[in-house]
Amino acid sequence: MILTQQFKELVEDVKGDMTNGQGGTSSTLFLKTQTGLISAVAGTNIALIDLTNTDSSISATHQMGTAIGVGHNLIEFEINNGVDSYNRTVKAVYAKTSRGEYNVFHTFTFVVIV
């Protein structure tokens, strides 16, 4: 059971490094080697509003309020620590306006392969 405890600690350590989310405008398809945004939108690199974990997964919510990212077609998103990116996901185009908030949900599932 030492492996189980170390696995939980790994999840906690990664969660401890995740602080921000950011949006971008590139529609370039996702590649496994890409972890950062291709065309980041300034002002969208903001603190996560929710960050929770289980023994083997992390869930993060990046919320762009009414004044954030306005006028941009948001397509790509990442979770980062303010500088270093943990992932890059490409979604359907969202034309951000000041009429509402936009929430992006990320889930990271950790798997042990032996």
For 58, list phi and psi in degrees, rounded to 5. -130, 135
Would you tell me how many other CB atoms lie within 10 Å of the CB of residue 102?
Answer: 18
Residue 114 within any structural domain of the chain = no
Q: Mean pLDDT by 10-residue block, N- to C-terminus, for the chain (114 residues)?
A: 77 93 91 83 94 92 94 95 89 92 91 76
Residue 39 within any structural domain of the chain = yes
Angstrom distance (rounded) from CA 41 to CA 26: 10
Q: 85-108, pLDDT tens digit by residue?
A: 988 889 999 999 999 889 999 999
Residue 65 within any structural domain of the chain = yes
Range of the domain at 69: 2-109
Residue 37 within any structural domain of the chain = yes
Predicted TM-score (pTM) of this structure: 0.85
Residue 95 within any structural domain of the chain = yes
Asked if residue 9 lies in contact with residue 22, where contact means CB atoms within 8 angstroms, the answer is no
Q: How many domains does the chain have?
A: 1
pLDDT of residue 111: 84
pLDDT of residue 94: 93
